[in-house]
């Protein structure tokens, strides 16, 4: 007998403390309980993780969650343990040799097991999980499985085969953004069964005002950034494509304001990144200058603004990143600062990450025993294709298409930045949303020059300009000696 809505809500309240489901959560859970494989496309901050947490607790069966990000896995494990699900573990490189050996030998004792595709490919772990019975297989960030998606990862190609080796357990594929093409690819790659497994929530977050601010030069863009941060109610995130520039802007913002500003990117130690995350989550920092390394798994409800100093390479990344604003449902703003020629940064990044035909040929011509230690990421990606049995011709064809797709994605993002139509409708059209948004004055700024910060309640009420009292040398000495 299928559980009623009231029964499921009672279970939610009793085990998770929420009175009601967020939009889309109940539909996903009910479809899984029929049982039916499900692709859930739900916007950032919509509580995707609760869907598999609920299923594991309700069915009292083991859940295997495959995720691409170490920080995301660790965050989810801590969240589950706080909820009382103590038998949760993340199989990651953060475990010591002895910790990892213990976990593998006692894997049957855990209820929620998080792992990356790379870890699951190791023979010992693969053999262990094949012997276990799974209530649910979860593919988090499922767009990574699609060669058409912007975050494609070769390691995700093995997941369809892994699912078969696990006897095709009930499967939930989760993502915040996926075009119809990517949806079809996810279903095909994972060999999902049943008609129309997709449950989709609109990507449109109406409480986030969308804005593009044009500037004539990089220097003007910097001045615009400083002016915006001084006016906007925080806390806020500022995204950069350059770690060096993120560092420089953090120092400059610290000088020009009395705000608490920190930098976050991959060059920081794990300890420093963790400390900055915690300080931001607990309102000890006002602004983070970050690269795309920041955000995944960071569940902070009151972020009021997200500014992109550099244009992302694709619409999926942009929607993911601006989706970190306004998770509490309150008015927030997403601002893209754009100067003519910003596309060149993303073109350079593509050239640095997508292998050329010559590079592919070179790696294929190497001896199989050649060590890849210290060789750049492009070579490691090619090696991953070789290890999965791809011919040189197939790999060359794949990355030629990949390069063309990235160029098309960048052109879409450039059109958005230069556009003269409603920004929200542009996003809806890109993701093939059924109900295209009708433009209004608190939607976006495509047809106005002034941002309605006061109307949105996003205008900072207190000055953030540092106040310095200039005293003479004698006055300082007098004060010191009087206090002796």
pLDDT by residue (tens digit) across 211-234?
999 998 989 999 999 999 999 998
- pLDDT (mean) for 49-70: 91
Mean pLDDT, rounded, for 442-461: 83
Percent of the chain residues past pLDDT 70, beyond the cut: 89
Among 172-181, 343-352, 364-373, the range scoring the smallest mean pLDDT is 364-373
| For residue 148, pLDDT beyond 70 | no
- Non-local CB neighbours of 8 within 8 Å, separated by 6+ positions: 21, 26, 29, 30, 58
Compute the distance between CA of residue 409 and CA of residue 319 in angstroms, rounded to an integer: 13
Q: Which residue has the higher pLDDT, 431 or 96?
A: 431
- In angstroms, the CA 321 to CA 314 distance is 11
Give the number of other Cβ atoms within 10 Å of residue 332's Cβ.
26
Residue 377 confidence (pLDDT) above 80: no
Strand order in the sheet with 287-290: 208-215, 332-339, 305-308, 236-239, 287-290, 261-264
111-115, 145-149, 367-371: least confidently modelled range? 367-371
d(CA 240, CA 291): 5
pLDDT score of 322 more than 70: yes
- As a whole number, mean pLDDT of residues 144-165 equals 75
- In this prediction, residue 202 carries a pLDDT of 82
Query: What residue spans in the chain does CATH classification 3.40.50.300 cover?
Result: 5-200, 208-340+419-456
- Supply the DSSP symbol for 459: B
CA–centroid distance for 308 within its chain: 15
Residue 484's pLDDT is what? 47
Q: What share of the chain is helix, strand, coil (3-state, %, to 5)?
A: 45, 15, 40
Q: Is the pLDDT of residue 301 over 90?
A: no
C-alpha angle 332-152-323 in degrees, rounded to nearest 5: 5
414-418 mean pLDDT: 93
**Phi, psi angle pair for 388, to nearest 5°:** -95, 10
448 — pLDDT class (breaks 50, 70, 90): low
| Cis peptide, bond prior to residue 235, ω within 30 of zero | yes
When pLDDT is averaged across residues 169-177 and rounded to a whole number, the result is 91
Residue 166 has pLDDT above 60, yes or no: yes
Q: Is 70 exceeded by the pLDDT of residue 471?
A: no
**325-359 pLDDT tens trace:** 998 889 999 999 999 888 888 888 888 888 899 98
Q: What is the pLDDT of residue 294?
A: 76
Q: What is the pLDDT of residue 470?
A: 42
- Look at the domain 5-200 and name its fold: Rossmann fold (3.40.50)
Model pLDDT, residue 468: 47
pLDDT of residue 253: 93
Among candidate residues 50, 37, 35, the one with its CA nearest the CA of residue 2: 35
pLDDT score, position 181: 85
Return the pLDDT at 401.
Answer: 87
Q: What phi and psi, each to the nearest 5 degrees, are found at residue 418? A: -100, 0
199 has pLDDT over 70: yes
What's the mean pLDDT when you consider all of the chain?
Answer: 85
Asked if residue 70 has pLDDT above 90, the reply is no
- For residue 63, give the nearest of 161, 169, 142 by alpha carbon: 169
Q: What's the mean pLDDT in 114-122?
A: 85
Average pLDDT over residues 382-389: 82
pLDDT at 423 over 60: yes
Q: Check if the beta carbon of residue 23 is closer than 8 Å to that of residue 46.
A: yes
- Reported as a pLDDT band with limits 50, 70 and 90, residue 411 is very high
The span from the CA of 133 to the CA of 150, in Å, is: 33
Confidence band, pLDDT 50/70/90 cuts, at residue 437? low
- Between 54 and 479, residue with greater pLDDT: 54
Classify 283 as helix, strand or coil: coil
pLDDT of residue 476 exceeding 50:
no
Lowest pLDDT segment from 84-98, 232-246, 325-339: 84-98
- Would you say domain 208-340+419-456 falls under CATH 3.40.50.300? yes
| Dihedral (CA of 422, 423, 428, 431) sign | positive
Please give the pLDDT value at position 177.
82
pLDDT at 455 over 60: yes
Q: What is the pLDDT of residue 55?
A: 95
pLDDT at 297: 57
Of the chain, the percentage scoring pLDDT greater than 90 comes to 36
How would residue 203 be classed by pLDDT, with cut points 50, 70 and 90?
confident
pLDDT range class, residue 150, cuts 50, 70, 90: low
């Amino acid at each position: 007998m299928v559980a009623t809505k009231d029964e499921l809500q009672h279970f939610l309240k009793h085990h998770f403390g929420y009175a009601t489901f967020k939009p889309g959560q109940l539909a996903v859970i009910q479809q899984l309980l029929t049982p039916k494989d499900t692709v859930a496309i739900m916007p950032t901050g919509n509580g995707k993780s609760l869907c598999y947490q609920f299923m594991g607790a309700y069915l009292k069966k083991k859940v295997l969650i495959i995720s691409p990000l170490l920080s995301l896995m660790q965050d989810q494990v801590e969240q589950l343990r706080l909820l009382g699900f103590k038998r949760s573990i993340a199989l990651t490189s953060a475990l010591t040799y002895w910790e990892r050996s213990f976990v593998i030998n006692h894997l049957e004792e855990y209820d929620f097991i998080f792992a990356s595709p790379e870890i699951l490919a190791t023979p010992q772990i693969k053999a262990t999980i094949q012997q276990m019975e799974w209530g649910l297989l979860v593919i988090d960030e499922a767009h990574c499985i699609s060669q058409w998606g912007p975050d494609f990862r070769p390691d995700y190609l093995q997941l369809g085969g892994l699912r078969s080796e696990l006897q095709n357990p009930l499967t939930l594929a989760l993502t915040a953004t996926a075009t119809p093409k990517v949806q079809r690819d996810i279903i095909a790659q994972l060999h999902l069964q049943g008609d129309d497994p997709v449950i989709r929530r609109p990507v449109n977050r109406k409480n986030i005002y969308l804005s593009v601010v044009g500037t004539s030069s990089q220097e003007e863009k910097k001045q615009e950034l400083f002016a915006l941060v001084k006016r906007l109610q925080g806390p806020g995130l500022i995204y950069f494509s350059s770690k060096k520039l993120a560092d420089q802007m953090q120092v400059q913002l610290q000088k020009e304001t009395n705000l608490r500003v920190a930098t976050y990117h991959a060059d920081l130690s794990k300890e420093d990144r963790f400390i900055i995350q915690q300080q931001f989550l607990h309102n000890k920092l006002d602004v983070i200058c970050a690269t795309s390394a920041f955000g995944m798994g960071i569940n902070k409800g009151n972020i009021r603004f997200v500014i992109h100093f550099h244009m992302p390479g694709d619409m999926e990344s942009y929607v993911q990143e601006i989706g970190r604003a306004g998770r509490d449902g309150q008015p927030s703003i997403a601002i893209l600062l754009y100067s003519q020629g910003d596309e060149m940064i993303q073109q350079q990044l593509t050239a640095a990450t997508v292998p050329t035909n010559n590079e592919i040929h070179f790696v294929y011509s190497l001896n199989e025993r050649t060590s890849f230690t210290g060789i750049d990421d492009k070579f490691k990606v090619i090696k991953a294709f070789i290890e999965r049995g791809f011919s040189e011709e197939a790999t060359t064809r794949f990355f030629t298409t990949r390069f063309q797709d990235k160029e098309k994605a960048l052109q879409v993002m450039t059109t958005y930045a230069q556009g003269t139509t409603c920004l929200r409708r542009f996003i809806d059209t890109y993701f093939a949303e059924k109900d295209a948004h009708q433009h209004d004055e608190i939607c976006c700024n495509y047809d106005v020059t002034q941002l309605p910060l006061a109307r949105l309640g996003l205008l900072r009420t207190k000055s953030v300009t540092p106040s310095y009292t200039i005293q003479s040398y004698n006055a300082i000495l007098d004060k010191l000696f009087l206090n002796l």
